[in-house]
């Protein structure tokens, strides 16, 4: 998106024009959804997160300062939403675990799906795909973010740096560590089941 077009879209969004909303969704929907699937490999949850992201983008468009590109800002929101969801799910699982220990039933914990099957992975690779995303989810938050944005969504390292508000060198280090940790974790897994 050129700078001029971005300015026009921004002005239309501030004027609450329906066409601008529609355009932004058409333009970014797939990338946002794919990013969400990288963090949360479950189509239903990813679609909910995608929806929440656009709602927040439209609701807080007046807060967009224009320091970064509009797309960078959108993916900052996407990343924040996904990480918040993952934290919430972890907290919820912990709570459900303790409740089960003390004998209290936690029916709402069942509402959060544990199945993680990325719809973009072929059915014959389902098992491998589940293991892969399980191990990606175990990476530290920053490594996971850099890895998902770069390796799954395909952002350049400079774009990842902009989205994560880090220096390019830092993102490089995070990516290398993420790849190394992921490989080790997978090797360990296959060693254990051998």
Q: Is 54 or 155 the residue whose CB approaches another protein more closely?
A: 54
Q: Show Cβ contacts of residue 172 under 8 Å, excluding neighbours closer than 6 positions.
A: 157
Site string for another protein, 18-57 (x = CB under 8 A): ---xx--x---xx--xx--x-----x--xx--xxx-xx--
Does 115 participate in binding another protein (rule CB under 8 A)?
Answer: no
Is the CB of residue 46 less than 8 Å from the CB of residue 31? no
Q: How far is CA 58 from CA 6, 14, 68, 82, 150, in A?
A: 14, 9, 17, 18, 26
Is the CB of residue 159 less than 8 Å from the CB of residue 72? yes
Site string for another protein, 135-154 (x = CB under 8 A): ----------------xx--
Among 66, 119, 140, 169, binds another protein (CB under 8 A): 119
User: From CA 171, how far away is CA 142, in angstroms rounded?
Assistant: 9
Q: Minimum CB separation from another protein for residue 174, in Å? A: 16
User: From CA 28, how far away is CA 72, in angstroms rounded?
Assistant: 11
Q: Minimum CB separation from another protein for residue 189, in Å? A: 8
By CB under 8 A, the count of residues binding another protein is 39
Measured in Å, how far apart are the chain's first and last C-alpha atoms? 49
User: From CA 86, how far away is CA 5, in angstroms rounded?
Assistant: 34
Q: Minimum CB separation from another protein for residue 98, in Å? A: 32
Q: Is 90 or 183 the residue whose CB approaches another protein more closely?
A: 183
Does 183 participate in binding another protein (rule CB under 8 A)?
Answer: yes
Q: Mark the segment that binds another protein (CB under 8 A) among 71-79, 90-98, 103-111, 117-125.
A: 117-125
User: From CA 106, how far away is CA 100, in angstroms rounded?
Assistant: 7
What string of DSSP letters covers 18-66? HHHHHHHHHHHHHHHHHHHHHHS--HHHHHHHHHHHHHHHHHTGGG--S
Q: Minimum CB separation from another protein for residue 4, in Å? A: 24
What is the binding site for another protein (CB under 8 A)?
A: 21-22, 25, 29-30, 33-34, 37, 43, 46-47, 50-52, 54-55, 58-59, 118-122, 125, 128-129, 131-132, 151-152, 182-183, 186-191, 194
């Amino acid at each position: 998106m050129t700078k001029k077009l971005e300015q026009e879209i921004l002005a239309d969004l501030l004027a609450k024009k329906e066409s601008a909303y529609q355009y932004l969704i058409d333009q970014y929907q797939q990338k946002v959804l794919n990013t969400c699937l990288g963090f949360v490999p479950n189509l239903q949850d990813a679609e909910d997160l995608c929806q929440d992201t656009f709602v927040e983008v439209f609701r807080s468009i007046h807060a967009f300062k224009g320091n970064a590109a509009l797309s960078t800002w959108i993916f900052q929101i996407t990343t924040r939403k996904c990480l918040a969801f993952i934290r919430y799910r972890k907290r919820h699982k912990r709570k459900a675990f303790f409740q089960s220990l003390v004998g209290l039933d936690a029916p709402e914990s069942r509402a959060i799906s544990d199945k993680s099957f990325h719809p973009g992975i072929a059915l014959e690779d389902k098992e491998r795909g589940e293991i892969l995303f399980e191990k990606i989810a175990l990476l530290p938050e920053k490594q996971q973010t850099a890895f998902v944005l770069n390796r799954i969504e395909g952002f350049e390292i400079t774009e990842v740096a902009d989205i994560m508000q880090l220096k390019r060198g830092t993102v490089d280090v995070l990516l290398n560590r993420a790849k190394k940790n992921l490989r080790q974790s997978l090797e360990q897994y296959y060693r254990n089941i051998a």
